[in-house]
Amino acid sequence: MEAIKFGTDGLRGIVNKSITPKVAYDLGCALALFLLQSNDKPKVLVAEDTRKSCDLLRCSFCSGLMSYGVDCICLGEMPTPALAFLTKKKKAYAGVMITASHNSYEYNGFKIFNSQGMKIDMLTTLTLERYAQILCKCSLNKSENIGTCKLDNLLLEKYVKYLQNEIKENKFSVCFDCANGTTYNILKKLFPNAKYTGIDLYKNKENENCGATNIKNLKKYIKQVKADIGFSFDGDGDRVIVISRNGKVYDGDDILYIFTKYFKERNILKKNEVVGTIMTNFGIELALKQLGVSLIRQQVGDKFISYEMKKKNLLLGAEQAGHIIVSRGSIIGDGIYACILMLNILNEIDVSLDEYTKDVKKYIQTNISVSVDEDMKDYILDNYELKDYIVQCENDMGYKGRIVVRKSGTESLIRILVEGQEKEYCDKIANKIKEKIVEISK
């Protein structure tokens, strides 16, 4: 039996292994049952990224929805933030994105949004998992009123127009790495004169050696085309990393600082608080403090940032990996919106990014991932020997650094972050913790 188990960012895995047509069908049935608890005739928007496997999963998923009488509207290829925007705009009961985000093309999965365009909360994911378990064990009565599936390829234009209205005059030459994903068709309309790489949309190469998780190609491309600035997205367009003409990389932490400083200087910030994660660089936290702004740390996952921002009515939040959330735009990470805002800011302040961020002194961060069996993640992290060892390492570091050991919510990995002021020392501690994890996992 193929169990449905959500991670921190939806359901994700290798297609035809952990993510099969049966899993997609069961998820569609489970979501239909959930929505029918409070709605007689719910409507669900379904979109996808550029992976070859999207056709397979969409057909199965929509069949599950329709078998219980739920109507679905298929929107075609678009970025995840576009779907979130349209779900709220069209007052749909849910939006479902078929994507594996930054993962390589053999992966795929599902991100689910509520009627407000926010990723579903933990209670909803647990409910969907439970419904799927019940469906696997017994056959529930299906609806006599079979749902319909309609196509709407024009709805995306509402999102494009929304972004067009945000663009101010741009004096920079710009290039984009679209990760062979969903951002290209939109960016081409917004920035027709820009240069593009990572736009091989039809050969199943999403995120392969490109995009927000692999910026080497964009660095070379910026020099090649002599651009002033470059933006690198992931496959589904909810992340962005910025690279200057001299090759300096500005990740989500840096972008959070830049946006905060700009909004603070113009009294737009609302409150003197912004949201990051346990991975946010300590140097960014100190630089924000110099601006009179406090950093609230949440667990990794942009949905946790979103919910914290909504709860406290905050304007800004970001993940180091490139999810930038500006609540006056969308309440989830939106790479294209963040790109537009960055260009608007640079056109207005008329100084370089290096100059604007000169007060930021980032700490060294060593990041290591350890491959483990999926079922072993919690066992390893709960192991008392590992916990004691991490405490010992933290005591040795004192106030000069941080250690974060956590399970990946999207892959069979345990991630280690060691942060401090000396690279050799951070590398040494990280590798010792890795050795301990490998020892425990045997």
Catalytically active residues, by annotation = 101
Angle at 27 between CA 25 and CA 30, to 5 degrees: 110
Q: Name the strand (E) or helix (H) holding 11.
A: strand 11-14
CA atoms of 229 and 173, how far apart (whole Å): 7
Tell me how long the chain is: 442
Angle at 220 between CA 217 and CA 221, to 5 degrees: 85
Cβ neighbourhood burial of 374 (10 Å; 0-12, 13-18, 19+): middle
Three-class HEC string of 53-94: CHHHHHHHHHHHHHHCCCEEEEEEECCHHHHHHHHHHCCCCE
CB atoms inside a 10 Å sphere around CB 45: 23
Q: Name the strand (E) or helix (H) holding 151.
A: strand 149-151
Residue 402 near residue 441 (C-beta atoms within 8 A): no
Of 126, 399, 435, 406, the closest CA to residue 282 belongs to 399
